[in-house]
């Protein structure tokens, strides 16, 4: 059943995209070792269901091509429509602005003040007062703009 | 002849905060996304609850029993199955089923085909095809007598099957096979 | 049904294993750590799905893992103590130009690791590093001595 395997591959791709998107980005552009394992765990479990018992080379190639096509379509759509891009990548969010925290953004994104401070330290900022604006970027990085003296 | 590269002037297209840092934040979208996230997680929790209860197969609510009015056959099966996942139909014979040291069991072809019967335990003495199914014969003298049919459904969908002792009433059942 | 329990158990088991494998300096994973992660992940995947490789089952397992991860993130935000258990805490390696010897030794860090992190930010010698902090991500942040 070629149709079934192709459908499974499409489902697996879309499901993982949704999953990764709603599980949420943790601050930090780099994945921590545990997030690596988690991504692998999620991917591998989906993979088990997508491949199921059809472990032929033909099936592998069919499904890889399907997933590649899905991805290609999605990246193409992303460049075509800013709305889809926003849906897939989210939007940058301000965490701290001119000495005031955006509390709903902090709780919504599950970011804490020490996450912001950790990013600030990497840039050599010593305390929270020195931060003018902190932005949670789409890739999960927190960028810090220093206050001008 | 070299053509000029296409260019576009740089404009202030990324939205600014307070008119001085270009961030392009879209808080309205994010609020809607948070609402969407909550919906997704609610749906996910519901799926898990369904799975734990067995509504998606392999659980308490998936188990079903069906018997004929003359008690010749009682069958335990799972009304929700999953593709390629092993499960078992257990057939219990009643007192009226044994005739002359044997018991005969008819199963419709859908058990073998769509539900993918892997093997019948114990090994039947004879098996005979006809009437759109298979009739197995087992040696039997005393009760209780049970036959297990190991399944591994190959096709998702809703499948009907019939099973019983030829000559008496049959049990009919509907099985939903999830992908 | 049992798969969900396996998935939740697998999540916490992986969390524990990765957490006790000490954090190595440098945010980048080495080749060896990659292999380790693939090995551990693969073994757990095989055990979680077991013989039920239907799409229904695997989807439920993925949802269960995602849900647990989100719940842990939520609890971390509410209880900072739990965050410290799961993510660790930032550790000061060098304070006002003085090494914290015990922390350095326990985290298996050498002054060279700190010097490398400093160089990445254009600090030429260790003497110029006022503070060095081992972040939860494994990165080392350095703060330059202020010029007088």
| Domain co-membership, C79 together with C95 | no
Q: How far is C27 from chain A (nearest CA, A)?
A: 7
Gap between the Cα atoms of A121 and B40, Å rounded: 35
Place of tokens 């930010």: C121
The reply to whether residue C141 touches residue A30, judged by beta carbons under 8 angstroms, is: no
What are the structural domain ranges in chain A? 2-89, 93-146
The parent domain of residue C113 ranges over 91-144
ipTM here: 0.78
The answer as to whether B74 is a domain residue is yes
Tell me how many domains chain B contains.
2
| Domain co-membership, B134 together with B166 | yes
| Domain co-membership, B146 together with B174 | yes
The pLDDT of residue B148: 92
Higher pLDDT, B54 or A2: B54
Establish if A18 touches chain B: CB-CB under 8 angstroms.
yes
Q: Which residues of B9-46 are buried (b: 16+ CB within 10 A; e: fewer)?
A: eeeeeeeebeeebebebbeeebeebeeebeebbeebee
For A72, the token pair is: 């290609």
ω into residue A137 within 30 of 0, thus cis? Answer: no
| Domain co-membership, B39 together with B75 | no
Residue B17 has pLDDT above 70, yes or no: no
For B42, the token pair is: 């609610």
CA-nearest residue of chain B to C51? B85
Q: Residue B66 — φ and ψ, nearest 5°?
A: -145, 140
Mean pLDDT of C20-29: 61
Chain B stretch 11-70, residues whose beta carbon is closer than 8 A to a beta carbon of chain A: 17-18, 21, 23-27, 29-30, 33-34, 37, 40-41
| Domain co-membership, B103 together with B127 | yes
Contacts of C33 in chain A (CB under 8 A): 33
* Residue of B39, B40, B45, B84 best to disrupt the C interface, most CBs of C under 10 A: B84
Confidence of residue C117 (pLDDT cuts 50, 70, 90): confident
The pLDDT of residue A121: 83
| Domain co-membership, C45 together with C118 | no
Place of tokens 């009304």: B79
Last residue of a domain, one of C87, C117, C136: C87
The pLDDT of residue C28: 60
Contacts of B84 in chain A (CB under 8 A): 52-53
HSE at residue A73, side-chain half, CA atoms within 13 A, is 9
The reply to whether residue B37 touches residue A97, judged by beta carbons under 8 angstroms, is: no
Residues in chain A where the model's pLDDT stays below 50: none
Establish if C66 touches chain B: CB-CB under 8 angstroms.
yes
| Domain co-membership, B45 together with B75 | no
Contacts of C69 in chain A (CB under 8 A): 23, 38
CA-nearest residue of chain B to C68? B45
Q: How far is A141 from chain C (nearest CA, A)?
A: 12
Q: Residue C117 — φ and ψ, nearest 5°?
A: -65, -35
Using CA atoms, how far residue C65 sits from A21, A36, B7, C70, C82, in Å, is: 14, 14, 47, 9, 18
| Domain co-membership, C111 together with C74 | no
The reply to whether residue A94 touches residue B25, judged by beta carbons under 8 angstroms, is: yes
The reply to whether residue B58 touches residue C52, judged by beta carbons under 8 angstroms, is: yes
Q: What is the pLDDT of residues C83-116, one digit of tens each?
A: 888 877 888 888 888 888 888 888 777 888 888 8
Q: What is the pLDDT of residues A86-105, one digit of tens each?
A: 888 888 888 888 888 888 88
DSSP state of C137: T
| Domain co-membership, C75 together with C102 | no
What average pLDDT is seen over chain B? 85
CA-nearest residue of chain A to B156? A4
The pLDDT of residue B69: 84
The parent domain of residue B150 ranges over 64-178
Contacts of C51 in chain B (CB under 8 A): 85-86
| Domain co-membership, B147 together with B168 | yes
The reply to whether residue C60 touches residue B83, judged by beta carbons under 8 angstroms, is: no
Gap between the Cα atoms of B7 and A38, Å rounded: 43
The pLDDT of residue A27: 64
Mean pLDDT of B125-135: 88
Using CA atoms, how far residue C32 sits from A43, B1, C63, C105, C135, in Å, is: 20, 53, 29, 22, 21
| Domain co-membership, C83 together with C101 | no
* CB neighbour list of residue B26: distance below 8 Å, 6 or more residues apart: A86, A91, B15
Higher pLDDT, B19 or B74: B74
| Domain co-membership, B36 together with B90 | no
Tell me how many domains chain C contains.
2
| Domain co-membership, C8 together with C56 | yes
Separation of CA A81 from chain center: 19
Answer for the pair B159, B177: CB distance below 8 angstroms, yes or no. yes
| Domain co-membership, C83 together with C16 | yes
The pLDDT of residue C62: 92
For A93, the token pair is: 């969010």
Contacts of B88 in chain C (CB under 8 A): none
Establish if A29 touches chain C: CB-CB under 8 angstroms.
no
Closest CA to A126 of A141, A107, A147: A147
| Closest residue to C56, CB basis, from B45, B82, B86 | B82
Q: How far is B36 from chain C (nearest CA, A)?
A: 15
| Partners of A136 in beta bridges | A93, A142
The answer as to whether B154 is a domain residue is yes
Q: How far is A63 from chain C (nearest CA, A)?
A: 15
Top-level class of domain A93-146: alpha beta
* Residue of B34, B43, B52 best to disrupt the C interface, most CBs of C under 10 A: B52
| Domain co-membership, C19 together with C79 | yes
Contacts of C51 in chain A (CB under 8 A): none
Contacts of B80 in chain C (CB under 8 A): none
Helix (H) or strand (E) holding C2: helix C2-20
Q: What is the pLDDT of residues C124-148, one digit of tens each?
A: 888 888 888 887 777 788 888 776 5
The pLDDT of residue C36: 79
Q: What is the pLDDT of residues C46-82, one digit of tens each?
A: 888 878 888 888 899 999 999 999 888 888 878 888 8
What is the distance in angstroms between the CA of the first residue and the CA of the last residue of chain C?
66
The reply to whether residue C67 touches residue B45, judged by beta carbons under 8 angstroms, is: yes
For B113, the token pair is: 């085909």
| Domain co-membership, C57 together with C71 | yes
The answer as to whether B3 is a domain residue is no
The answer as to whether B171 is a domain residue is yes
Establish if A14 touches chain C: CB-CB under 8 angstroms.
no
| Domain co-membership, C44 together with C105 | no
CATH label of the domain that carries residue C96: 3.30.240.20
Establish if C4 touches chain B: CB-CB under 8 angstroms.
yes
| Domain co-membership, B138 together with B169 | yes
**Percent with pLDDT over 70 in chain B:** 94
The reply to whether residue A30 touches residue C139, judged by beta carbons under 8 angstroms, is: yes
Last residue of a domain, one of C43, C60, C87: C87
CATH label of the domain that carries residue B97: 2.60.40.10
The pLDDT of residue A1: 67
| Domain co-membership, C83 together with C95 | no
Gap between the Cα atoms of C143 and B37, Å rounded: 39
| Domain co-membership, B25 together with B86 | no
| Domain co-membership, B94 together with B42 | no
């Amino acid at each position: 059943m070629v149709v079934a395997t192709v459908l499974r591959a499409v489902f697996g791709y879309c499901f993982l995209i949704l999953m990764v998107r709603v599980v949420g980005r943790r601050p930090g552009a780099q994945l921590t070792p545990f997030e690596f394992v988690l991504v692998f765990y999620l991917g591998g479990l989906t993979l088990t269901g997508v491949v199921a018992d059809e472990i032929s080379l033909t099936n592998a190639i069919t499904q890889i091509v399907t997933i590649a096509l899905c991805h290609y379509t999605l990246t193409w759509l992303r460049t075509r429509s800013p709305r889809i891009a926003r849906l897939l990548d989210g939007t940058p969010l301000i965490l701290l602005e001119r000495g005031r925290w955006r509390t709903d953004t902090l709780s919504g994104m599950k970011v804490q003040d020490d996450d912001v401070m950790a990013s600030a330290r990497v840039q050599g900022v010593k305390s929270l007062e020195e931060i003018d604006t902190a932005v949670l970027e789409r890739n999960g990085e927190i960028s810090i703009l220093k206050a001008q003296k | 002849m070299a053509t000029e590269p296409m260019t576009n002037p740089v404009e202030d297209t990324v939205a600014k905060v307070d008119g001085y840092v270009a961030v392009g934040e879209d808080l309205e979208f994010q609020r809607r996304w948070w609402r969407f996230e909550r919906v997704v997680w609610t749906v996910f929790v519901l799926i898990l609850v369904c799975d734990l209860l067995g509504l998606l197969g392999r659980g308490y609510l998936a188990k079903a029993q069906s018997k004929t009015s003359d008690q010749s056959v009682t069958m335990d099966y799972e009304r929700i199955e999953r593709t390629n996942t092993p499960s078992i139909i257990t057939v219990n014979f009643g007192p009226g089923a044994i005739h002359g040291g044997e018991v005969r069991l008819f199963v419709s072809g859908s058990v073998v085909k769509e539900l993918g019967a892997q093997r019948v335990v114990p090994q039947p003495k004879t098996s005979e095809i006809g009437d759109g199914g298979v009739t197995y014969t087992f040696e039997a003298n005393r009760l209780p007598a049970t036959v297990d049919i190991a399944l591994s459904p190959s096709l998702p969908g809703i499948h009907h099957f019939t099973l019983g002792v030829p000559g008496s009433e049959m049990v009919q059942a509907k099985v939903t096979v999830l992908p | 049904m049992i798969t969900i329990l396996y998935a939740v158990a697998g999540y916490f088991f992986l969390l524990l294993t990765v957490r006790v494998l000490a954090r190595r300096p440098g945010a980048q994973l080495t080749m060896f750590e990659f292999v380790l992660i693939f090995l551990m992940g693969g073994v757990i995947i095989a055990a979680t799905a077991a013989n039920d490789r239907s799409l229904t089952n695997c989807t439920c397992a993925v949802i269960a893992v995602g849900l647990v991860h989100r719940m842990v993130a939520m609890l971390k935000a509410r209880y900072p103590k739990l965050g410290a258990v799961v993510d660790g805490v930032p550790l000061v390696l060098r304070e006002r130009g003085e090494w914290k010897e015990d922390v350095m030794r326990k985290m298996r860090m050498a002054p060279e690791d700190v010097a490398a992190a400093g160089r990445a930010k254009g600090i030429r010698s260790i003497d110029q590093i006022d503070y060095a902090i081992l972040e939860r991500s494994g990165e080392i942040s350095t703060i330059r001595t202020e010029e007088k």
